[in-house]
């Protein structure tokens, strides 16, 4: 009877297991629980908005060389995370996205397909064959966008890159950028030299990526279907154009403003002028954004080296070269830049009455000083400017992303404009402000060199990348802008690092004292030995010999103490590791056994007693 009961029990357990597997696969397949701190496996709201706007089905071809990456644990783990995130996109799209996983083996049709898509075949150390690790996305209109190679160093921006790719496929038309400026961005004849000059390099780059439409400051309106407005040092905009830009911003439009207290790259405007060549910042001021127009930044640390005339190379505190330390590493616009150069830049802040929020993108060093713009113009040479590095230095914001609630710069529409669509406030202002326009000029970030009758421009700073990244980010819409850095999926051992820091702090001082004592002991011992070796006539007394023996013994003791100190550095970490091993290997199984014992006892007690009494 008991054997039959046991057989039935095993059979029921097997049926229950199969039923649970079916329920998990059929009903709970879409259920996910992301326990990572940065939610790296969960799509953000911005990604869901982009997915919802997909009209044409999208096919994602994910290429990863399985055999060629054997033994590359980190790369394979990252590939697994990329694949998991791609599957999340596929599930969220509910049929509008189809994912193909492809292993491009050498000399296969799959490898030919990877090459046709333009993916990068990398030759990595330790890999015998070419490694492919990229993505090609296509739609029914034969549009195509690719990620040539997934860089593990850019993992925090993985979701942003994938969502941007989907956004580009769903909206194949180039975003329209209204470039409000009177600068000679498109080139033309130089009135000073009468020679024809080429267009500015940043403008050439933008025209390759966007539909750029130039708007003079005297214009009355913005182009239709404008996606981004870029204000590039407009000196004095017409009231109707100001109103158009203002209402564009009030209606969730995205604006990039290069506002400069002194644009010194316009040589024609500066000829014989002692007045600052400043931008029109009246709109920014009305929105609650303050770009200092009467002061420029001097930096005692970041000054670029220049050669004035035929003189020696000197550091110019008004020409600043920003490095990675001065950039926001968590924003996609600046995360992968190395350097950005500026000249006579202003500073960016919010007015006291402002209700906006600002995210700094570029900042000065801690040795930043403000200097009167008029004095800056009057001073000749960097030597005189260095005398302006006085007062209390601090870090200043030079570029930032401003968002939030604000009011219109107009209380009512200007005469001649329609009042029907007037909007007085917005909760979604989206403005990226750079307190410098000289960074647009070629001379601060590209070098010209002749090449077979043409001119080749070689960048030595990332000014152009910053401008393109900022425009691309804002052109992607509010959904794409909302996607920020998500953090690394691999987390450091914070507890272990804390133990290491604590141990290092506690024992370094003790170790240094012992090292000093050992040095003194060895020096004294060397002195006594040298006296002994000066000649055979020197005979040590018993007391001198005991002193030498004591120093030798002390040296041995100090060295032993040093070894113990170094061992102490790792003791707490080893103790923590032993506890983790005990919990994983012994404690967890013991707890499980105990719970199973209690369950078995609870199931056996009552039926067993009833059977015995019968």
Q: What DSSP assignment string belongs to 105-164?
A: -TTSHHHHHHHHTT--EE--TT-SS-EEEEEEEEETT--EEEE----GGGGGGHHHHHHH
Q: Is 350 helix (H, G, I), strand (E, B) or coil?
A: strand
Q: Where are the alpha helices (DSSP H) in 457-493?
A: 463-475, 477-481
Residue 164: inside a domain: no
User: So what's the pLDDT on residue 614?
Assistant: 45
Q: Are residues 123 and 245 in the same domain?
A: no
Residue 64: inside a domain: yes
Residue 128: inside a domain: yes
CB distance 102 to 83 below 8 Å: no
Give the pLDDT band (50/70/90) at residue 484. Answer: low
User: So what's the pLDDT on residue 519?
Assistant: 73
Domain end (from 91, 122, 153):
153
176 forms beta bridges with: 211
Average pLDDT over residues 63-82: 90
Q: Are residues 273 and 377 in the same domain?
A: yes
The mean of the pLDDT values for the chain is: 82
User: So what's the pLDDT on residue 544?
Assistant: 63
Each residue's pLDDT tens digit, 177-209 = 999 999 999 887 666 666 777 889 999 989 988
Residue 491: inside a domain: no
Q: Are residues 104 and 185 in the same domain?
A: no
Q: Are residues 256 and 377 in the same domain?
A: yes
Q: Are residues 86 and 112 in the same domain?
A: yes
User: So what's the pLDDT on residue 211?
Assistant: 94
Work out whether the CA dihedral 575, 579, 581, 586 comes out positive or negative: positive
Average pLDDT over residues 582-593: 78
Q: What is the dihedral of CA 367, 369, 375, 379, to 10 degrees?
A: 0
Residue 21: inside a domain: no
Find the CATH number of the domain harbouring 66: 3.40.30.10
Q: Are residues 476 and 366 in the same domain?
A: yes
Indicate the helix (H) or strand (E) that contains 234: none
- Give, as one character, the DSSP assignment of residue 342: E
- Nearest of 154, 178, 202 to residue 437 by alpha carbon: 202
Q: Are residues 333 and 455 in the same domain?
A: yes
Q: Are residues 477 and 501 in the same domain?
A: no
Residue 301: inside a domain: yes
User: So what's the pLDDT on residue 23?
Assistant: 74
- Nearest of 202, 203, 210 to residue 186 by alpha carbon: 203
Give the pLDDT band (50/70/90) at residue 70. Answer: confident
Residue 511: inside a domain: yes
Scanning the structure block, which residue is given the tokens 């939610």? 39
Q: Are residues 303 and 389 in the same domain?
A: yes
Report d(CA 82, CA 36) in Å as an integer: 15
Taking 3-state DSSP, the helix, strand and coil percentages for the chain, each rounded to the nearest 5, stand at: 45, 20, 35
Q: Are residues 245 and 99 in the same domain?
A: no
- Reading the block at residue 363, the tokens are 């900042």
Find the CATH number of the domain harbouring 211: 3.40.50
DSSP codes joined into one string, 52-65:
HT--S-EEEEEEE-
- Give, as one character, the DSSP assignment of residue 277: -
Each residue's pLDDT tens digit, 346-386 = 999 999 999 999 999 999 999 999 998 888 888 756 566 77
Domain with 130, as residue range(s), is 45-153
Radius of gyration of the chain (CA): 35
Indicate the helix (H) or strand (E) that contains 530: helix 494-532
| Distance, C-alpha 240 to centroid of its chain | 38
Report d(CA 65, CA 44) in Å as an integer: 29
Q: Are residues 509 and 453 in the same domain?
A: no
- Would you say residue 42 has pLDDT above 60? yes
Number of domains in the chain: 3
Residue 25: inside a domain: no
Q: Are residues 446 and 312 in the same domain?
A: yes
Q: Is 349 helix (H, G, I), strand (E, B) or coil?
A: strand
User: So what's the pLDDT on residue 65?
Assistant: 93
Each residue's pLDDT tens digit, 498-535 = 666 666 665 666 666 666 766 776 676 677 666 655 54
- In the structure, how many helices (H) and strands (E) does the chain have? 16, 23
């Amino acid at each position: 009877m008991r054997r039959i009961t046991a057989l039935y029990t095993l059979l029921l357990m097997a049926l229950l297991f199969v039923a649970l597997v079916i329920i998990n696969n059929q009903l709970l397949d879409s259920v996910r629980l992301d326990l990572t701190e940065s939610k790296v496996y969960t799509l953000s709201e911005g990604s869901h908005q982009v997915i919802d706007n997909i009209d044409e089905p999208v096919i994602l071809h994910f290429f990863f060389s399985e055999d060629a990456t054997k033994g590359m644990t980190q790369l394979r783990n990252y590939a697994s995370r990329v694949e998991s995130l791609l599957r999340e996109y596929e599930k969220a799209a509910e049929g509008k996205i189809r994912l193909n996983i492809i292993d491009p083996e050498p000399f296969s049709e799959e490898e030919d397909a990877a090459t046709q898509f333009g993916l990068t075949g990398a030759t990595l150390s330790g890999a015998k064959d070419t490694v492919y690790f990229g993505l090609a996305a296509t739609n029914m209109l034969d549009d195509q966008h690719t990620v040539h190679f997934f860089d593990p160093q850019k993992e925090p921006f993985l979701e942003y890159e994938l969502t941007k790719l989907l956004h580009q496929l769903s909206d194949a038309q180039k975003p329209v950028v209204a470039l409000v400026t009177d600068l000679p961005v498109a080139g033309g004849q130089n009135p000073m030299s009468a020679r024809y000059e080429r267009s500015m390099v940043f403008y050439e780059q933008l025209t390759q990526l966007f539909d750029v439409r130039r708007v003079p400051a005297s214009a009355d309106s913005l182009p239709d279907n404008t996606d981004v407005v870029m204000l590039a040092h407009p000196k004095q905009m017409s009231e109707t154009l100001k109103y158009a830009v203002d209402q564009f911003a009030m209606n969730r439009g995205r604006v990039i403003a290069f506002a400069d207290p002194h644009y010194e790259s316009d040589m024609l405007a500066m000829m014989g002028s002692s007045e600052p060549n400043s931008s029109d910042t009246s709109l920014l001021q009305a929105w609650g954004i303050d770009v200092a127009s009467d002061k420029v930044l001097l930096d005692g640390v970041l000054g670029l080296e220049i050669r004035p005339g035929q003189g020696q190379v000197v550091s110019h505190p008004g020409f600043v070269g920003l490095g990675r330390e001065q950039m926001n590493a968590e924003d996609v616009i600046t995360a992968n830049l190395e350097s950005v150069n500026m000249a006579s830049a202003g500073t960016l802040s919010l007015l006291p009455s402002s209700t906006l929020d600002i995210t700094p993108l570029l900042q000065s060093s801690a040795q930043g000083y403000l200097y009167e713009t008029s004095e800056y113009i009057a001073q000749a040479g960097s030597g005189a400017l260095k005398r302006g590095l006085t007062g209390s230095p601090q870090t200043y914001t030079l570029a930032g992303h401003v968002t939030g609630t604000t009011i219109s710069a107009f209380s009512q529409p200007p005469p001649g404009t329609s009042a029907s669509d007037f909007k007085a406030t917005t909760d979604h202002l989206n403005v990226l402000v750079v307190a410098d326009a000289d960074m647009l000029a070629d001379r601060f970030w590209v070098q010209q060199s002749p090449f077979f009758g043409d001119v080749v421009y070689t960048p030595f700073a990332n000014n152009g990348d910053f401008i393109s990244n900022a425009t691309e980010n804002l052109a992607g819409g509010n959904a794409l802008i909302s996607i920020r850095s998500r953090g690394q999926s691999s987390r450091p051992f914070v507890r272990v690092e804390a133990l290491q820091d604590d141990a290092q702090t506690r024992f370094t001082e003790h170790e240094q004292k012992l090292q000093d004592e050992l040095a003194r002991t060895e020096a004294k011992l060397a002195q006594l030995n040298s006296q002994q070796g000066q000649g055979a006539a020197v005979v040590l007394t018993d007391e001198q010999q005991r002193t030498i023996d004591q120093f030798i013994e002390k040296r041995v003791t100090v060295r032993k103490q040093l070894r113990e100190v170094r061992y102490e550095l790792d003791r707490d970490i080893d103790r923590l590791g032993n506890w983790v091993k005990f919990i994983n290997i012994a404690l967890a199984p013991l707890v499980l056994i105990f719970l199973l014992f209690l369950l078995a006892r609870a199931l056996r007690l009552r039926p067993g007693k009833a059977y015995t009494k019968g």
